[in-house]
Amino acid sequence: MHKKNTVFLRTFGCQMNIRDSEVISGLLQKAGYRISATDQDADIIIFNTCSVRKHAEDRVWSLIGSYKGSKVIGLVGCMAQNYKEQAFQRDPHISFVVGPQDIHKLPVIIEKILGDNLFSDKNLLERKIWETAGDLRPEEIYHMDFYQDKNHAHVVISEGCSNFCSYCVVPYVRGALRHRKHKDILIEIREVIARGVTKVTLLGQNVNAYQDSQVNFTKLLEQVNALSGLKEFDFFTSHPKDAGVDFFKAIRDLEKLVKRLHLPLQSGSDKILKLMNRGYQAKDYLSLIDSYRKIVKSGRLTTDIIVGFPTETDAEFNQTYALVKKARFNAAYIFKYSSRPGTEAAKIIDPLKQAELEQRHRKILNLQRSISQELRSSQVDAKK
């Protein structure tokens, strides 16, 4: 057995990836590796990556290139699944490629890659391994003794997504929706509470679709709320087509649940929503948030918007603009559409001019900034 090496993990993307990196750190520490906070003293660099937009991928390719083969490089997460063996052609300095469903195999894979003597092995680059598309991740990975924040733990309740929004790469790279057993989720939360954690965030691509035998998401929220020792919890992220009155009542009634909802809208145009395969119309979204606000008085509301989806006309963009103006979100993440190979939307060839995309992005960003500002100052006034 060789002397164990030092690993630096760089994480990109969503909270699910941040949690996956904690799991990877825990697994590698258990296998005897040292986790470093910088790349300088590390001999292995693991990139835990995101493929949701091209920009995020470009940054990773350029960072990997900057090491020029001076370290052992691993590509992990969504980009690994997206590129598979092509990643080795794209950058020959990559030594291993491991998709999100296979992160539990990392200690074994790295062991094989390193052999007995790191860097003296001339065949290192010939012995690349990529493993992808395992089904369920083993339950043990969620009970690793590694949580970055001593007070706040992120707990995965479901993996993958089966919604196939036409622009989104997630169902392809993270696979179909799978639910963890509610009993296992509660065991993990009890474990973190026993370690001193007081705040928990439940994670899934669409938490509202959670279902494990008789336990749906609202039931799960009730069970988590009942755990003694837990002070506060929230969840991320919701889908309008699966959200409803019972769920809003749970947000209102469960005293430990943070009064906040992130409900991605994506577009205010019915034509674009249909092309996006979102499963609701603008009027449905408006009545949903109306009901949320009536039930959860002064609850926060945030959203995601994509501008410049293929074929989006000025008039359709203006419908999104008008809806954002009407909805008065506390905050919104506004994204420029990014074409993702393999998705349905990528087949629609109608690129918007870059200048126009930037303009729509800026316009809606400015609108949301002023709304957020107004809401913040009215809250401050209310507290005075």
Question: Among all chains, which residue has been given the structure tokens 């090496």?
Answer: 5
Binding of ligand SF4 by 168 (CB under 6 A): yes
By CB under 6 A, which span of 131-139, 284-292, 337-345, 365-373 interacts with ligand 5AD? Answer: 337-345
Binding of ligand SF4 by 206 (CB under 6 A): yes
The answer to whether the peptide bond before residue 237 is cis (omega within 30 degrees of 0) is yes
| Structure letter (DSSP) for residue 353 | P
By CB under 6 A, which span of 163-171, 228-236, 331-339, 347-355 interacts with ligand SF4? Answer: 163-171
Residues 357 and 185 sit within 8 Å (Cβ to Cβ): no
Cβ at position 339, least distance to ligand 5AD in Å: 7
From the list ligand SF4, ligand 5AD, none, partner contacted by residue 161 (C-beta under 5 to 8 A by kind): ligand SF4
The CA angle 280-203-224, to the nearest 5 degrees, is 105
Nearest to 299 by CA among 248, 259, 330: 259
Binding of ligand SF4 by 275 (CB under 6 A): no
Site map 229..248 versus ligand 5AD, x via CB under 6 A: --------------------
CA distance 86 to 13: 21
Length of the chain: 384
Question: Among all chains, which residue has been given the structure tokens 């794209």?
Answer: 90
Residues 26-85 that bind ligand 5AD (CB under 6 A): 52-53
Binding of ligand 5AD by 210 (CB under 6 A): no
- Dihedral sign for Cα 28, 33, 35, 38, please: negative
Binding ligand 5AD by CB under 6 A: which of 17, 338, 352, 360? 338
Residues 270 and 281 sit within 8 Å (Cβ to Cβ): yes
Binding-site residue total for ligand 5AD (CB under 6 A)?
12
Cβ at position 172, least distance to ligand SF4 in Å: 9
Q: How far is CA 68 from CA 63, 75, 91, 179, 193, in A?
A: 10, 15, 10, 40, 43
Binding of ligand 5AD by 208 (CB under 6 A): no
From the list ligand SF4, ligand 5AD, none, partner contacted by residue 335 (C-beta under 5 to 8 A by kind): ligand 5AD
Given the rule CB under 6 A, which residues bind ligand 5AD? 52-53, 167-168, 264, 266, 304, 306, 335, 337-338, 340
